[in-house]
């Protein structure tokens, strides 16, 4: 799954990069708390974080996490999209599909 930290660019421009770093850490904390079944968590770049799930329940676990992160009153504001990798799909193609799904959400 991919997670977008909403408003990071505006925070960086308005309040500086240290404030942006605090926002990223808060976003990572929210993701870490919600993604308890993830095998791997990382910052993909810019304002995107990822959670990787493995096993037969991976898709369901990712969707559960995305739903948990969608809480409207929770801060920082995060948008998440979850997909299941297609058989034989390489990482680059999966990330491309994740970005496309996130843009539609």
Q: Are 1 and 62 in contact (CB under 8 A)?
A: yes
How do residues 27-64 score in pLDDT, each as one tens digit? 999 999 999 999 999 999 899 999 999 999 999 999 99
Instruction: Tell me the residue range of the domain where 24 lies.
Output: 2-104
User: pLDDT tens digit string along 62-76?
Assistant: 999 999 998 877 889
Q: Indicate the number of domains in the chain.
A: 1
Give the bridge partners for 5, in sequence order: 78
- Structure letter (DSSP) for residue 38: -
CA-based nearest residue to 86, from 51, 50, 63, 59? 59
- Any idea what the CATH number is for the domain that residue 36 is in? 3.30.70.270
């Amino acid at each position: 799954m991919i997670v977008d930290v909403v408003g990071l660019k505006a925070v960086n421009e308005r309040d500086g990069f240290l404030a942006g770093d605090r926002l990223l850490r808060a976003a990572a904390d929210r993701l870490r708390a919600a993604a308890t079944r993830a095998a791997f968590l990382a910052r993909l770049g810019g304002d995107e974080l990822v959670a990787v799930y493995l096993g037969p329940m991976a898709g369901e676990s990712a969707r559960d996490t995305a739903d948990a992160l969608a809480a409207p009153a929770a801060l920082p504001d995060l948008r998440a999209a979850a997909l299941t990798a297609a058989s034989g799909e390489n990482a680059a193609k999966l990330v491309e599909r994740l970005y496309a799904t996130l843009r539609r959400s």
